[in-house]
Amino acid sequence: MMPREILRYPHPGLRQKAKEVKELKDVKELLEDMWITMYEFKGIGLAAPQIGENKQIFVADVEGKRMVLINPRILTREGEERGEEGCLSIPEVTVEIPRAKRIEVEGWNEKGEKIREKFEGLLARVIQHEIDHLHGTLILDYLSPYEKERLIKKLREEKK
């Protein structure tokens, strides 16, 4: 298996709201591709839309805890903390983003088992980041309009 191409900002696929997964039998190969791609590009999380798959799926490997979440929903959020985040779809850019300290999430794992679990720390941050991708939200969206415009201009100049 080879890693898949990661969509880069401003690709329109990054802005689409991902569709709910109805059949788990269709995701086994996709999950393998996602793991390979995430590790190849040295990420700790990857959402399916980042590789051009409009499905509500993400994988994460944070501090030795590997997880797959399909059709995830955040049920509760507690506290707030700010932290720097990067994104494989916007390389070499970090943004300070406020996130909930603790979250409760439900969804399904790769076996079709329902998961309902609480997370905190870096894993909670990664889960929130990846769920943002499933809704078409990027780290750039947390910037002020001025900062966002300035960064987008810089990204365009670097692309030339």
Q: Which residues of 80-119 are buried (b: 16+ CB within 10 A; e: fewer)?
A: eeeeebebbbbeebebebebbeebbbebbeeeeeeeeeeb
130 is catalytic: yes
Task: Tell me which of 113, 117, 130, 149 is the catalytic residue.
Answer: 130
Alpha helix segments (H runs only) across the chain: 28-40, 121-134, 145-159
- CA atoms of 107 and 14, how far apart (whole Å): 21
How far is C-alpha 10 from the chain's CA centre?
16
Distances, alpha carbon 117 to alpha carbons 74, 77, 126, in Å:
10, 12, 14
Instruction: Catalogue the active-site residues.
Output: 130
